[in-house]
A = this chain, B = another copy of it.
Amino acid sequence: MHSLTLGDVAHEHARTYTDETATVCYGARVTYHELDERVNRLASQLAAHGITSGDRVLWLGQNCHRVLELLLAAGRLGAMVCPVNWRQSAAEIAFVIDDLAPRVIVWQEEALGDVIREARGQAAHASALWLQHDGGGSDSYEALVAAGAPEAPRVDVDPASPVLIIYTAAFGGRPNGSLLTHTGLLTQDGNLFKLADMWPGFTYLNNGPLFHIGTFMYTVATFHIGGKNVFTRRADPVDVMRLIADEKCTAGFVLPPTIAKIVELNADRAYDLSSFRSPIRMEGWNDMVRQDTTPFGTRSMGGYGQTEVTGLDVYAAYGGRPGVTTAGRPSPWTRVTIVDEGGNEVPDGETGEIVFRGPMVHAGYWNRPEINAYRTRSGGWHTNDIGCREQDGVVAFIGPKTQMIKSGVENIYPAEVESCIERLAGVKEVAIIGVPDEKYVQSVKAIVVAADGAAVRAEDIIEHCRQQIASYKKPKSVEFIDALPRTPAGGKDYSVLDAKFGGGGYPGGSTRSNLRLQGASKWQMTTGTLSRTSS
Protein backbone atom coordinates (compact mmCIF):
# COMPACT_ATOMS: atom_id res chain seq x y z
CA MET A 1 0.00 0.00 0.00
CA HIS A 2 2.89 2.38 0.76
CA SER A 3 4.98 1.21 -2.14
CA LEU A 4 5.74 3.36 -5.18
CA THR A 5 7.56 1.85 -8.14
CA LEU A 6 7.96 3.05 -11.72
CA GLY A 7 5.22 0.59 -12.64
CA ASP A 8 2.85 2.23 -10.18
CA VAL A 9 3.52 5.58 -11.83
CA ALA A 10 2.74 4.06 -15.24
CA HIS A 11 -0.56 2.68 -13.90
CA GLU A 12 -1.43 6.04 -12.38
CA HIS A 13 -0.56 7.99 -15.52
CA ALA A 14 -2.75 5.72 -17.62
CA ARG A 15 -5.59 7.21 -15.56
CA THR A 16 -4.33 10.77 -15.09
CA TYR A 17 -2.66 11.55 -18.42
CA THR A 18 -4.63 8.96 -20.39
CA ASP A 19 -4.70 10.47 -23.87
CA GLU A 20 -1.66 12.68 -23.53
CA THR A 21 1.50 11.78 -25.38
CA ALA A 22 4.08 9.88 -23.36
CA THR A 23 6.68 9.21 -26.06
CA VAL A 24 7.48 10.31 -29.60
CA CYS A 25 10.11 8.37 -31.51
CA TYR A 26 10.33 8.74 -35.27
CA GLY A 27 7.03 7.33 -36.55
CA ALA A 28 5.86 6.03 -33.17
CA ARG A 29 3.64 8.15 -30.92
CA VAL A 30 2.41 6.53 -27.71
CA THR A 31 -0.12 7.92 -25.21
CA TYR A 32 0.05 7.20 -21.49
CA HIS A 33 -2.85 4.82 -21.81
CA GLU A 34 -1.11 2.98 -24.63
CA LEU A 35 2.22 3.05 -22.80
CA ASP A 36 0.75 1.28 -19.80
CA GLU A 37 -0.83 -1.35 -22.02
CA ARG A 38 2.34 -1.86 -24.07
CA VAL A 39 4.31 -2.23 -20.86
CA ASN A 40 1.79 -4.77 -19.58
CA ARG A 41 2.07 -6.78 -22.80
CA LEU A 42 5.83 -6.60 -22.69
CA ALA A 43 5.98 -7.59 -19.02
CA SER A 44 3.69 -10.55 -19.58
CA GLN A 45 5.91 -11.77 -22.43
CA LEU A 46 9.13 -11.18 -20.51
CA ALA A 47 7.64 -13.19 -17.66
CA ALA A 48 6.69 -15.91 -20.14
CA HIS A 49 10.33 -16.02 -21.22
CA GLY A 50 11.37 -16.60 -17.64
CA ILE A 51 12.32 -13.09 -16.60
CA THR A 52 11.89 -12.77 -12.89
CA SER A 53 13.08 -10.70 -9.94
CA GLY A 54 16.77 -9.77 -10.25
CA ASP A 55 17.08 -10.74 -13.94
CA ARG A 56 18.76 -8.44 -16.46
CA VAL A 57 17.58 -7.20 -19.85
CA LEU A 58 20.18 -5.64 -22.14
CA TRP A 59 19.49 -2.82 -24.58
CA LEU A 60 22.00 -2.83 -27.43
CA GLY A 61 20.68 0.14 -29.33
CA GLN A 62 20.60 3.88 -29.64
CA ASN A 63 17.99 6.22 -28.14
CA CYS A 64 14.46 4.88 -28.54
CA HIS A 65 11.12 5.00 -26.71
CA ARG A 66 11.46 1.25 -26.27
CA VAL A 67 14.17 1.79 -23.64
CA LEU A 68 11.60 3.48 -21.39
CA GLU A 69 9.07 0.72 -22.11
CA LEU A 70 11.63 -1.97 -21.25
CA LEU A 71 12.54 -0.13 -18.06
CA LEU A 72 8.90 -0.07 -16.96
CA ALA A 73 8.25 -3.67 -18.01
CA ALA A 74 11.37 -5.02 -16.30
CA GLY A 75 10.55 -2.91 -13.25
CA ARG A 76 7.09 -4.43 -13.09
CA LEU A 77 8.74 -7.87 -12.67
CA GLY A 78 11.47 -6.77 -10.25
CA ALA A 79 14.00 -7.11 -13.09
CA MET A 80 16.46 -4.54 -14.51
CA VAL A 81 17.38 -2.95 -17.82
CA CYS A 82 20.85 -1.91 -18.92
CA PRO A 83 21.21 0.47 -21.88
CA VAL A 84 24.73 -0.31 -23.09
CA ASN A 85 27.12 2.32 -24.41
CA TRP A 86 26.78 1.50 -28.10
CA ARG A 87 29.82 3.59 -28.98
CA GLN A 88 32.00 0.89 -27.45
CA SER A 89 33.96 -1.74 -29.34
CA ALA A 90 32.69 -5.26 -29.91
CA ALA A 91 35.04 -6.53 -27.18
CA GLU A 92 33.72 -3.98 -24.70
CA ILE A 93 30.12 -4.87 -25.53
CA ALA A 94 30.95 -8.57 -25.21
CA PHE A 95 32.39 -7.85 -21.75
CA VAL A 96 29.06 -6.34 -20.67
CA ILE A 97 27.11 -9.29 -22.10
CA ASP A 98 29.22 -11.73 -20.11
CA ASP A 99 29.29 -9.54 -17.01
CA LEU A 100 25.50 -9.15 -16.83
CA ALA A 101 24.50 -12.52 -18.35
CA PRO A 102 21.14 -11.10 -19.42
CA ARG A 103 18.15 -13.35 -20.12
CA VAL A 104 16.93 -11.05 -22.90
CA ILE A 105 18.93 -8.82 -25.26
CA VAL A 106 17.14 -6.24 -27.40
CA TRP A 107 19.34 -5.10 -30.27
CA GLN A 108 19.38 -2.69 -33.18
CA GLU A 109 20.34 -3.52 -36.76
CA GLU A 110 20.62 0.03 -38.07
CA ALA A 111 24.12 1.45 -37.62
CA LEU A 112 25.05 -1.18 -35.01
CA GLY A 113 24.31 -4.57 -36.58
CA ASP A 114 27.90 -5.44 -37.44
CA VAL A 115 29.49 -4.54 -34.14
CA ILE A 116 26.70 -6.33 -32.26
CA ARG A 117 27.15 -9.53 -34.31
CA GLU A 118 30.84 -9.35 -33.58
CA ALA A 119 30.22 -8.85 -29.86
CA ARG A 120 27.74 -11.75 -29.87
CA GLY A 121 30.38 -13.94 -31.43
CA GLN A 122 32.92 -12.99 -28.79
CA ALA A 123 30.66 -13.30 -25.74
CA ALA A 124 30.69 -16.54 -23.74
CA HIS A 125 27.14 -15.99 -22.46
CA ALA A 126 25.03 -17.59 -25.17
CA SER A 127 21.70 -18.37 -23.57
CA ALA A 128 19.96 -15.00 -24.00
CA LEU A 129 16.85 -14.44 -26.07
CA TRP A 130 17.80 -11.95 -28.80
CA LEU A 131 15.10 -9.57 -30.04
CA GLN A 132 15.60 -7.03 -32.78
CA HIS A 133 13.92 -3.74 -31.91
CA ASP A 134 14.06 -2.17 -35.37
CA GLY A 135 12.74 -5.13 -37.29
CA GLY A 136 9.34 -6.58 -37.91
CA GLY A 137 10.06 -10.32 -37.88
CA SER A 138 8.88 -12.97 -35.46
CA ASP A 139 11.93 -12.32 -33.26
CA SER A 140 11.28 -8.60 -33.08
CA TYR A 141 10.41 -6.42 -30.13
CA GLU A 142 7.10 -5.40 -31.65
CA ALA A 143 6.13 -9.02 -32.27
CA LEU A 144 6.74 -9.67 -28.58
CA VAL A 145 4.59 -6.71 -27.56
CA ALA A 146 1.81 -7.80 -29.92
CA ALA A 147 1.84 -11.31 -28.45
CA GLY A 148 1.55 -10.10 -24.85
CA ALA A 149 -1.49 -10.05 -22.62
CA PRO A 150 -2.94 -6.59 -21.93
CA GLU A 151 -2.99 -7.30 -18.21
CA ALA A 152 0.35 -7.29 -16.41
CA PRO A 153 1.38 -10.13 -14.15
CA ARG A 154 0.98 -8.99 -10.56
CA VAL A 155 4.39 -9.06 -8.93
CA ASP A 156 5.14 -7.46 -5.60
CA VAL A 157 8.19 -5.30 -6.35
CA ASP A 158 10.30 -3.71 -3.62
CA PRO A 159 10.81 -0.01 -4.52
CA ALA A 160 14.32 -0.28 -3.04
CA SER A 161 15.26 -2.90 -5.65
CA PRO A 162 17.32 -1.93 -8.70
CA VAL A 163 15.61 -1.35 -12.05
CA LEU A 164 18.25 0.43 -14.13
CA ILE A 165 21.89 -0.53 -14.70
CA ILE A 166 24.34 2.04 -16.00
CA TYR A 167 27.98 1.12 -16.49
CA THR A 168 30.49 3.61 -15.19
CA ALA A 169 33.91 3.85 -16.77
CA ALA A 170 36.74 2.92 -14.45
CA PHE A 171 40.10 4.66 -14.57
CA GLY A 172 41.77 1.63 -15.96
CA GLY A 173 40.11 -1.57 -14.77
CA ARG A 174 36.89 -3.10 -16.02
CA PRO A 175 33.76 -0.93 -15.92
CA ASN A 176 31.10 -1.58 -13.29
CA GLY A 177 27.33 -1.68 -13.64
CA SER A 178 25.71 0.69 -11.15
CA LEU A 179 22.36 -0.62 -9.89
CA LEU A 180 19.89 2.26 -9.66
CA THR A 181 16.63 1.76 -7.78
CA HIS A 182 12.98 2.73 -8.25
CA THR A 183 13.13 4.83 -5.09
CA GLY A 184 16.40 6.46 -6.08
CA LEU A 185 15.04 7.58 -9.44
CA LEU A 186 11.67 8.71 -8.06
CA THR A 187 13.39 10.64 -5.25
CA GLN A 188 15.83 12.43 -7.57
CA ASP A 189 12.72 13.71 -9.35
CA GLY A 190 11.89 15.75 -6.25
CA ASN A 191 14.96 17.82 -7.10
CA LEU A 192 14.45 17.90 -10.86
CA PHE A 193 10.76 18.85 -10.80
CA LYS A 194 11.67 21.90 -8.74
CA LEU A 195 15.06 22.92 -10.06
CA ALA A 196 14.34 22.28 -13.74
CA ASP A 197 10.85 23.76 -13.41
CA MET A 198 9.11 20.62 -14.69
CA TRP A 199 5.31 20.46 -14.93
CA PRO A 200 2.92 18.03 -16.60
CA GLY A 201 3.46 18.50 -20.30
CA PHE A 202 7.20 19.19 -19.93
CA THR A 203 8.68 17.96 -23.21
CA TYR A 204 12.15 16.54 -23.14
CA LEU A 205 14.29 16.07 -26.21
CA ASN A 206 16.28 12.86 -25.59
CA ASN A 207 19.24 13.68 -27.79
CA GLY A 208 21.88 12.87 -25.19
CA PRO A 209 22.76 9.19 -24.78
CA LEU A 210 20.46 7.03 -22.66
CA PHE A 211 23.40 5.02 -21.32
CA HIS A 212 24.27 8.16 -19.37
CA ILE A 213 22.51 9.08 -16.11
CA GLY A 214 22.62 12.75 -17.13
CA THR A 215 20.11 12.03 -19.88
CA PHE A 216 18.28 9.15 -18.24
CA MET A 217 17.42 11.05 -15.07
CA TYR A 218 15.54 13.56 -17.23
CA THR A 219 13.84 10.79 -19.23
CA VAL A 220 12.50 9.29 -15.99
CA ALA A 221 11.56 12.68 -14.51
CA THR A 222 9.71 13.68 -17.69
CA PHE A 223 7.76 10.42 -17.56
CA HIS A 224 7.15 10.86 -13.81
CA ILE A 225 5.73 14.40 -14.11
CA GLY A 226 3.41 13.31 -16.93
CA GLY A 227 5.46 14.94 -19.67
CA LYS A 228 6.42 13.94 -23.19
CA ASN A 229 9.72 12.22 -24.05
CA VAL A 230 10.90 12.87 -27.60
CA PHE A 231 13.65 10.53 -28.78
CA THR A 232 16.25 11.00 -31.49
CA ARG A 233 19.25 8.84 -32.29
CA ARG A 234 21.34 11.75 -33.48
CA ALA A 235 21.99 15.30 -32.32
CA ASP A 236 21.96 16.43 -35.93
CA PRO A 237 21.11 20.16 -36.08
CA VAL A 238 18.22 19.73 -38.51
CA ASP A 239 16.72 16.87 -36.48
CA VAL A 240 17.03 18.95 -33.33
CA MET A 241 15.39 22.01 -34.92
CA ARG A 242 12.59 20.00 -36.44
CA LEU A 243 11.82 18.13 -33.22
CA ILE A 244 11.89 21.26 -31.06
CA ALA A 245 9.54 23.00 -33.47
CA ASP A 246 7.20 20.05 -34.14
CA GLU A 247 6.96 18.75 -30.57
CA LYS A 248 7.42 22.09 -28.77
CA CYS A 249 10.28 20.68 -26.71
CA THR A 250 10.95 22.39 -23.39
CA ALA A 251 14.51 21.19 -22.84
CA GLY A 252 17.32 18.95 -24.06
CA PHE A 253 21.11 18.90 -24.17
CA VAL A 254 21.88 21.10 -27.13
CA LEU A 255 25.50 22.16 -27.05
CA PRO A 256 27.35 25.11 -28.60
CA PRO A 257 28.54 23.38 -31.83
CA THR A 258 24.96 22.34 -32.64
CA ILE A 259 23.67 25.75 -31.62
CA ALA A 260 26.11 27.48 -33.96
CA LYS A 261 24.81 25.35 -36.85
CA ILE A 262 21.20 26.03 -35.92
CA VAL A 263 21.76 29.79 -35.76
CA GLU A 264 23.11 29.57 -39.30
CA LEU A 265 20.49 27.17 -40.70
CA ASN A 266 17.53 28.87 -39.03
CA ALA A 267 18.43 32.43 -39.98
CA ASP A 268 15.08 32.71 -41.76
CA ARG A 269 13.24 31.50 -38.64
CA ALA A 270 11.66 28.64 -40.59
CA TYR A 271 11.63 26.62 -37.36
CA ASP A 272 9.88 28.08 -34.33
CA LEU A 273 12.12 27.22 -31.37
CA SER A 274 10.41 29.51 -28.86
CA SER A 275 9.24 26.64 -26.63
CA PHE A 276 12.82 25.67 -25.85
CA ARG A 277 14.68 26.78 -22.73
CA SER A 278 18.40 26.82 -23.23
CA PRO A 279 20.96 27.76 -20.62
CA ILE A 280 23.49 28.70 -23.27
CA ARG A 281 23.74 32.31 -24.41
CA MET A 282 24.96 32.80 -27.98
CA GLU A 283 24.36 35.54 -30.48
CA GLY A 284 21.39 34.77 -32.69
CA TRP A 285 20.35 31.85 -30.42
CA ASN A 286 19.16 33.95 -27.49
CA ASP A 287 16.23 35.39 -29.41
CA MET A 288 15.28 32.08 -31.07
CA VAL A 289 14.63 30.27 -27.77
CA ARG A 290 12.53 30.97 -24.71
CA GLN A 291 13.52 34.09 -22.83
CA ASP A 292 11.28 34.08 -19.80
CA THR A 293 13.35 31.66 -17.76
CA THR A 294 17.03 31.15 -17.21
CA PRO A 295 18.77 27.74 -17.40
CA PHE A 296 16.23 24.98 -16.76
CA GLY A 297 14.16 27.28 -14.63
CA THR A 298 15.48 29.98 -12.42
CA ARG A 299 18.71 28.79 -10.81
CA SER A 300 22.08 27.44 -11.79
CA MET A 301 22.07 23.67 -12.28
CA GLY A 302 25.68 23.16 -11.26
CA GLY A 303 26.56 20.65 -8.61
CA TYR A 304 28.27 17.38 -7.91
CA GLY A 305 27.25 13.76 -8.11
CA GLN A 306 27.98 10.51 -9.89
CA THR A 307 26.05 7.72 -11.54
CA GLU A 308 26.24 5.75 -8.28
CA VAL A 309 24.07 8.31 -6.46
CA THR A 310 21.53 8.66 -9.32
CA GLY A 311 23.16 11.78 -10.80
CA LEU A 312 23.66 15.07 -9.01
CA ASP A 313 23.16 14.98 -5.22
CA VAL A 314 24.78 18.32 -4.38
CA TYR A 315 23.17 21.22 -6.19
CA ALA A 316 24.47 24.76 -6.61
CA ALA A 317 20.82 25.84 -6.76
CA TYR A 318 20.43 25.09 -3.03
CA GLY A 319 23.31 27.46 -2.33
CA GLY A 320 26.77 27.27 -3.88
CA ARG A 321 29.51 29.61 -5.02
CA PRO A 322 29.02 32.10 -7.84
CA GLY A 323 30.76 30.81 -10.95
CA VAL A 324 31.68 27.46 -9.40
CA THR A 325 29.87 24.57 -11.08
CA THR A 326 31.08 21.76 -8.81
CA ALA A 327 29.99 23.01 -5.40
CA GLY A 328 26.64 23.29 -3.73
CA ARG A 329 24.46 22.14 -0.90
CA PRO A 330 23.09 18.63 -0.61
CA SER A 331 19.68 17.72 -1.97
CA PRO A 332 17.08 17.59 0.83
CA TRP A 333 16.97 13.79 0.39
CA THR A 334 20.71 13.25 0.81
CA ARG A 335 23.23 13.06 3.61
CA VAL A 336 26.85 14.00 2.96
CA THR A 337 29.88 13.45 5.13
CA ILE A 338 33.55 14.12 4.41
CA VAL A 339 35.68 11.41 5.97
CA ASP A 340 39.31 10.53 6.51
CA GLU A 341 40.90 7.19 5.70
CA GLY A 342 39.54 5.73 8.92
CA GLY A 343 35.98 6.70 8.01
CA ASN A 344 35.81 9.48 10.62
CA GLU A 345 34.34 12.85 9.73
CA VAL A 346 36.93 15.56 9.20
CA PRO A 347 36.38 19.12 10.49
CA ASP A 348 34.88 21.74 8.19
CA GLY A 349 37.42 23.13 5.76
CA GLU A 350 39.51 19.95 5.62
CA THR A 351 39.58 17.62 2.67
CA GLY A 352 38.51 14.00 2.70
CA GLU A 353 36.46 11.48 0.76
CA ILE A 354 32.87 12.43 -0.05
CA VAL A 355 30.42 9.86 1.35
CA PHE A 356 26.68 9.81 0.55
CA ARG A 357 23.76 8.27 2.38
CA GLY A 358 20.06 8.28 1.55
CA PRO A 359 17.53 6.86 -0.90
CA MET A 360 19.42 8.05 -4.01
CA VAL A 361 22.47 5.89 -3.29
CA HIS A 362 22.55 2.96 -5.71
CA ALA A 363 22.28 -0.68 -4.65
CA GLY A 364 25.98 -1.24 -5.45
CA TYR A 365 27.65 -2.55 -8.60
CA TRP A 366 26.37 -5.67 -10.29
CA ASN A 367 28.43 -8.69 -9.30
CA ARG A 368 31.22 -6.77 -7.50
CA PRO A 369 30.83 -7.87 -3.87
CA GLU A 370 34.37 -6.91 -2.86
CA ILE A 371 34.25 -3.43 -4.32
CA ASN A 372 30.77 -2.92 -2.87
CA ALA A 373 31.93 -3.95 0.59
CA TYR A 374 34.91 -1.61 0.36
CA ARG A 375 32.93 1.31 -0.99
CA THR A 376 30.27 1.00 1.76
CA ARG A 377 32.76 0.28 4.55
CA SER A 378 31.51 3.10 6.82
CA GLY A 379 27.83 2.47 6.15
CA GLY A 380 27.57 5.12 3.42
CA TRP A 381 28.61 5.16 -0.23
CA HIS A 382 32.28 6.15 -0.62
CA THR A 383 32.50 8.08 -3.88
CA ASN A 384 36.28 7.74 -4.39
CA ASP A 385 36.19 11.52 -4.78
CA ILE A 386 37.83 14.13 -2.63
CA GLY A 387 35.81 17.08 -1.40
CA CYS A 388 35.52 19.57 1.35
CA ARG A 389 32.70 20.89 3.52
CA GLU A 390 33.14 24.60 3.92
CA GLN A 391 32.18 26.67 6.94
CA ASP A 392 28.84 27.71 5.49
CA GLY A 393 27.83 24.14 4.65
CA VAL A 394 28.74 24.19 0.98
CA VAL A 395 30.20 20.90 -0.28
CA ALA A 396 32.93 21.39 -2.88
CA PHE A 397 34.20 18.64 -5.17
CA ILE A 398 37.99 18.81 -5.43
CA GLY A 399 39.00 15.86 -7.56
CA PRO A 400 39.19 12.11 -7.88
CA LYS A 401 40.79 10.33 -4.97
CA THR A 402 43.26 8.16 -6.88
CA GLN A 403 46.21 7.19 -4.72
CA MET A 404 46.59 8.81 -1.34
CA ILE A 405 50.11 9.86 -0.32
CA LYS A 406 51.42 9.43 3.21
CA SER A 407 53.87 12.01 4.60
CA GLY A 408 54.76 11.22 8.20
CA VAL A 409 51.38 10.83 9.90
CA GLU A 410 49.67 13.09 7.41
CA ASN A 411 47.41 12.01 4.49
CA ILE A 412 47.79 13.94 1.27
CA TYR A 413 45.29 13.74 -1.58
CA PRO A 414 46.92 14.42 -4.96
CA ALA A 415 43.75 16.10 -6.24
CA GLU A 416 43.99 18.84 -3.66
CA VAL A 417 47.61 19.65 -4.45
CA GLU A 418 46.92 19.46 -8.18
CA SER A 419 43.97 21.81 -7.85
CA CYS A 420 46.20 24.27 -5.99
CA ILE A 421 49.04 24.18 -8.52
CA GLU A 422 46.70 24.39 -11.50
CA ARG A 423 45.53 27.78 -10.26
CA LEU A 424 49.05 29.17 -10.73
CA ALA A 425 49.56 31.20 -13.89
CA GLY A 426 51.85 29.43 -16.36
CA VAL A 427 50.75 25.92 -15.34
CA LYS A 428 48.67 23.97 -17.85
CA GLU A 429 48.21 20.79 -15.85
CA VAL A 430 49.81 18.74 -13.18
CA ALA A 431 49.88 15.27 -11.65
CA ILE A 432 51.01 14.60 -8.09
CA ILE A 433 52.70 11.34 -7.12
CA GLY A 434 54.31 10.07 -3.94
CA VAL A 435 57.92 8.92 -3.91
CA PRO A 436 59.40 6.78 -1.15
CA ASP A 437 61.07 8.83 1.61
CA GLU A 438 63.17 7.19 4.34
CA LYS A 439 62.21 9.69 6.99
CA TYR A 440 58.59 10.60 6.07
CA VAL A 441 57.35 7.38 4.37
CA GLN A 442 56.71 9.34 1.16
CA SER A 443 57.33 12.79 -0.21
CA VAL A 444 55.30 14.74 -2.72
CA LYS A 445 56.44 15.12 -6.31
CA ALA A 446 54.71 17.33 -8.89
CA ILE A 447 54.83 16.44 -12.59
CA VAL A 448 54.00 19.69 -14.34
CA VAL A 449 53.02 20.63 -17.89
CA ALA A 450 53.73 24.32 -18.41
CA ALA A 451 51.37 26.46 -20.48
CA ASP A 452 52.59 27.27 -23.97
CA GLY A 453 55.51 29.67 -23.73
CA ALA A 454 55.31 30.01 -19.96
CA ALA A 455 58.54 29.94 -17.97
CA VAL A 456 57.22 28.66 -14.65
CA ARG A 457 59.90 27.54 -12.17
CA ALA A 458 59.90 24.70 -9.62
CA GLU A 459 60.54 27.09 -6.72
CA ASP A 460 57.55 29.24 -7.73
CA ILE A 461 55.33 26.19 -7.65
CA ILE A 462 56.57 25.08 -4.23
CA GLU A 463 56.25 28.59 -2.80
CA HIS A 464 52.73 28.93 -4.24
CA CYS A 465 51.71 25.74 -2.43
CA ARG A 466 53.35 26.88 0.82
CA GLN A 467 51.12 29.95 0.76
CA GLN A 468 47.91 28.22 -0.29
CA ILE A 469 47.76 24.86 1.51
CA ALA A 470 49.21 23.14 4.56
CA SER A 471 52.98 23.15 4.23
CA TYR A 472 53.34 19.34 4.48
CA LYS A 473 51.27 19.02 1.30
CA LYS A 474 53.62 21.07 -0.87
CA PRO A 475 55.81 19.18 -3.36
CA LYS A 476 59.41 18.57 -2.37
CA SER A 477 60.37 18.19 -6.01
CA VAL A 478 58.97 19.22 -9.36
CA GLU A 479 59.50 17.64 -12.78
CA PHE A 480 58.41 19.13 -16.07
CA ILE A 481 56.94 17.09 -18.89
CA ASP A 482 55.44 17.93 -22.30
CA ALA A 483 52.16 16.11 -21.77
CA LEU A 484 50.68 13.85 -19.09
CA PRO A 485 50.19 10.19 -19.97
CA ARG A 486 46.51 9.22 -20.14
CA THR A 487 44.50 6.08 -19.40
CA PRO A 488 42.17 4.74 -22.10
CA ALA A 489 39.29 6.40 -20.24
CA GLY A 490 41.08 9.77 -20.44
CA GLY A 491 42.26 10.09 -16.83
CA LYS A 492 45.81 10.91 -15.79
CA ASP A 493 47.80 7.67 -15.85
CA TYR A 494 49.50 7.65 -12.47
CA SER A 495 50.94 4.17 -12.97
CA VAL A 496 53.00 5.39 -15.91
CA LEU A 497 54.10 8.45 -13.94
CA ASP A 498 55.04 6.32 -10.92
CA ALA A 499 57.11 4.08 -13.16
CA LYS A 500 58.78 7.00 -14.88
CA PHE A 501 59.47 9.26 -11.87
CA GLY A 502 60.10 6.74 -9.10
CA GLY A 503 56.69 6.88 -7.45
CA GLY A 504 55.87 4.24 -4.83
CA GLY A 505 55.61 3.42 -1.13
CA TYR A 506 51.88 4.24 -1.09
CA PRO A 507 49.97 3.27 2.04
CA GLY A 508 47.88 0.10 1.90
CA GLY A 509 49.96 -1.60 -0.74
CA SER A 510 48.62 -3.38 -3.75
CA THR A 511 45.01 -3.60 -2.61
CA ARG A 512 44.80 0.17 -2.67
CA SER A 513 46.46 0.25 -6.02
CA ASN A 514 43.73 -1.95 -7.45
CA LEU A 515 40.98 0.11 -5.93
CA ARG A 516 42.54 3.22 -7.32
CA LEU A 517 41.58 1.90 -10.71
CA GLN A 518 37.90 1.72 -9.82
CA GLY A 519 37.33 5.46 -9.90
CA ALA A 520 33.73 6.52 -10.07
CA SER A 521 32.65 8.62 -12.96
CA LYS A 522 31.89 12.14 -11.93
CA TRP A 523 29.57 14.54 -13.59
CA GLN A 524 29.21 18.19 -13.42
CA MET A 525 26.33 20.24 -14.67
CA THR A 526 27.55 23.48 -16.14
CA THR A 527 24.74 25.97 -16.49
CA GLY A 528 22.30 23.27 -17.44
CA THR A 529 24.62 21.10 -19.46
CA LEU A 530 25.74 17.88 -17.91
CA SER A 531 29.26 16.99 -18.96
CA ARG A 532 31.73 14.42 -17.87
CA THR A 533 34.65 15.77 -15.84
CA SER A 534 38.20 14.86 -16.69
CA SER A 535 38.53 11.56 -14.87
Contact residues in B for A480 (Cβ distance below 8 Å): none
A357 CB contact (under 8 Å) in B8, B225, B333, B380: B8
B335 touches A8 (CB 8 A): yes
A105 beta carbon closer than 8 Å to chain B: no
- Stoichiometry, copies per complex: 2
- Residues of B contacting A391 in the complex (Cβ-Cβ under 8 angstroms): 18
Q: Are B186 and A336 in contact (CB under 8 A)?
A: no
Taking the nearest CB of chain B, how far is it from the CB of A63, in angstroms? Answer: 24
State which of B18, B183, B381 has its C-beta within 8 Å of the C-beta of A393. Answer: B18
Residues B11 and A200 in contact, CB atoms below 8 Å apart? no
The smallest beta-carbon distance between A17 and chain B, in angstroms, is: 6
> Which residues of chain B are within 8 angstroms of A395 by Cβ–Cβ distance?
16
Q: Judge if A400 is at the interface, Cβ distance under 8 Å.
A: no
Interface membership of A214, Cβ < 8 A: no
Q: Complex Cα distance A24/B189, Å? A: 31
CB of B190 within 8 A of CB of A4, answer no
CB-CB nearest in chain B for A16: B393
Given A1-B361, A186-B333, A357-B8: A200 and B318 within 8 A (CB)?
yes
From B2, B19, B361, B392, contact of A358 by CB (8 A): B2
Q: Say whether B329 contacts A361, CB under 8 Å.
A: no
Q: Is the CB of A379 within 8 A of B1?
A: yes
Assembly CA distance A529 to B522 (angstroms): 43
Chain B residue numbers with a CB within 8 Å of A348 are: 15, 18
> Closest residue of chain B to A333, judged by CB?
B4
A505 interfacial by beta-carbon distance below 8 Å? no
Q: Does A376 contact B (CB under 8 A)?
A: yes
How far does the alpha carbon of A190 sit from the alpha carbon of B225 in the complex, in Å? 12
CB contacts (< 8 Å) of A380 on chain B: these are 1
Query: Residue A1 contacts which of B15, B194, B376 (CB distance < 8 angstroms)?
Result: B376
The answer to whether A12 and B193 touch across the interface, beta carbons within 8 angstroms, is no
| A389 contacts B by Cβ under 8 Å | yes
A9 interface contact, C-beta 8 A: yes
- Cβ contact within 8 Å between B358 and A189: no
Quick check: is A440 within 8 A (CB to CB) of the other chain?
no
Q: How far is the CA of A386 from the CA of B457 in the complex (A)?
A: 79
Q: How far is the CB of A96 from chain B (nearest CB, A)?
A: 26
Q: Mark A389-414, 1 if CB is under 8 A from B, else 0.
A: 10111010000000000000000000
Determine which of B12, B160, B226, B329 lies in contact with A200 in the assembled complex, contact meaning CB atoms within 8 Å. B329
Query: Is A319 located at the chain interface by the 8 A CB criterion?
Result: yes
Interface residues of A in 1-55 (CB under 8 A from B): 1-4, 8-9, 11-12, 15-19
Determine if A224 is an interface residue (Cβ-Cβ < 8 Å): yes
Q: What residues of B have a CB within 8 angstroms of the CB of A392 in the complex?
A: 18-19
Quick check: is A330 within 8 A (CB to CB) of the other chain?
Answer: yes
Q: Give Cα A2 to B183, complex, Å.
A: 10
Contacts A15-B348, A190-B190 given; 10 further ones with Cβ under 8 A? A2-B357, A4-B333, A4-B335, A12-B330, A12-B334, A12-B336, A19-B392, A187-B190, A190-B194, A226-B318
Between A and B, 6 residue pairs with Cβ closer than 8 Å are A1-B381, A9-B332, A16-B336, A200-B318, A225-B332, A226-B329
